[in-house]
């Protein structure tokens, strides 16, 4: 099994939506759960290679931009919100080998109450 295929299987095994964008906000990868949600439930098509901000509202764009500034500084994920589906959303940084910010991914998890 090739490395890319293995990584894809690992990311698909995560039980939540996972979307990856580069530093210019171009969508580069979505796991199976994200594809099911955005293509199935939301009716979008072919999001890979498209600008993320074409598909999120102004409020979400501002939250993402603020989170990116935070994660560039802290090098850690930033909480965005609890969305209408009761999922916590985080923006997580991706850094290159030289430590430069190369992108981010949006991570969702069920907002469980204990």
* Mean pLDDT value across residues 64-79: 94
**For 29, phi and psi rounded to 5 degrees?**
-160, 145
Looking at the chain, the whole-number percentage of residues with pLDDT higher than 90 is: 68
* Mean pLDDT value across residues 70-98: 92
> 14-41: per-residue pLDDT in tens?
988 899 999 999 999 999 999 998 898 8
Select 3-110's CATH number: 3.10.150.10, 3.30.450.20, 3.30.465.10, 1.10.3720.10.
3.30.450.20
The pair of structure tokens assigned to 40 is 């199935």
Looking at the chain, the whole-number percentage of residues with pLDDT higher than 70 is: 98
* Mean pLDDT value across residues 59-79: 93
Predicted pLDDT of residue 113: 67
Predicted pLDDT of residue 42: 87
pTM across the whole model: 0.86
What residues contact residue 76 under an 8 Å CB cut-off, 6+ apart? 93
**For 10, phi and psi rounded to 5 degrees?**
-65, -50
> 91-114: per-residue pLDDT in tens?
999 999 999 999 999 888 888 865
Domain ranges of the chain: 3-110
d(CA 83, CA 94): 23
Residue 102, Cα to own-chain centre: how many angstroms? 13
Predicted pLDDT of residue 109: 86
């Amino acid at each position: 099994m090739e490395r890319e295929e293995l990584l894809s299987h690992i990311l698909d095994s995560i039980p939540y939506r996972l979307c990856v964008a580069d530093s210019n906000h171009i969508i580069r990868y979505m796991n199976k759960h994200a594809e099911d949600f955005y293509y199935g439930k939301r009716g979008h098509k072919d999001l890979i290679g498209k600008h993320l901000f074409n598909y999120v509202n102004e409020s979400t764009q501002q939250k993402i931009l603020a989170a990116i500034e935070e994660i560039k500084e802290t090098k850690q994920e930033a909480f965005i919100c609890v969305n209408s589906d009761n999922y916590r959303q985080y923006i997580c940084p991706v850094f290159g080998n030289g430590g430069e910010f190369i992108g981010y991914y949006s991570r969702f998890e069920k907002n469980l109450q204990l």
